[in-house]
Amino acid sequence: MATNRTFTMIKPDAVESGYIGGILEMINAAGFKIVAMKYTKLSLETAGKFYEVHKERPFYPELIAFMSRGPIVAAILEKENAVEEFRKLIGATNPAEAAEGTIRIKFGKNKGENAVHGSDSDENAAIEGAFHFAGTEVF
């Protein structure tokens, strides 16, 4: 069953480049409601835990170093069929392959530094949201 919520992060590359406003504008324009949001920074250890599913991948050390190198914006978004709709809005993992009108084609740099994260399933959306937010921080 489709959930109404997904989890996102505006990644360090996009924050460094001053893209927070532009990305939030696209998220709002696409009809997502922000139900939780924080400006924060992951430690290497926390990034390692968040991306534990990728632990065996060759890019894991690079990924967690990148995700902990500067602040991020973490948010929970609400919309009908949120996970799928948000993945359409952000586009392919590799910005060079992302469709016109997507966040990654506009703001992503490469496969690693691709501006935003979007949950890949309803189950992971719930896990990732709970990783970053207490129940009292979700409205």
Question: Which active-site residues does the annotation give?
Answer: 117
With CB under 6 A as the rule, give the number of residues binding ligand CMP: 9
Residues 6+ apart with CB under 8 A from 121: 83
What is the Cα–Cα distance from 54 to 69, expressed in whole angstroms?
18
From candidates 38, 59, 65, 81, binder to ligand CMP by CB under 6 A:
59
CB 136, min distance to ligand CMP, A: 26
Positions in 20-49 near ligand CMP (CB under 6 A)? none
C-alpha of 122 from chain center = 14
Whether 35 and 136 have beta carbons less than 8 Å apart is answered as no
User: Which region, left, alpha or beta, applies to residue 34 given φ > 0 means left and ψ of -120 to 50 means alpha?
Assistant: beta
Q: Which of 38, 54 has the CB closer to ligand CMP?
A: 54
For ligand CMP, the closer CB: 106 or 136 = 106
**Residue 114 touches ligand CMP, criterion: CB under 6 A:** yes
Q: By CB under 6 A, name the binding residues for ligand CMP.
A: 54, 59, 62-63, 93, 111-112, 114, 117
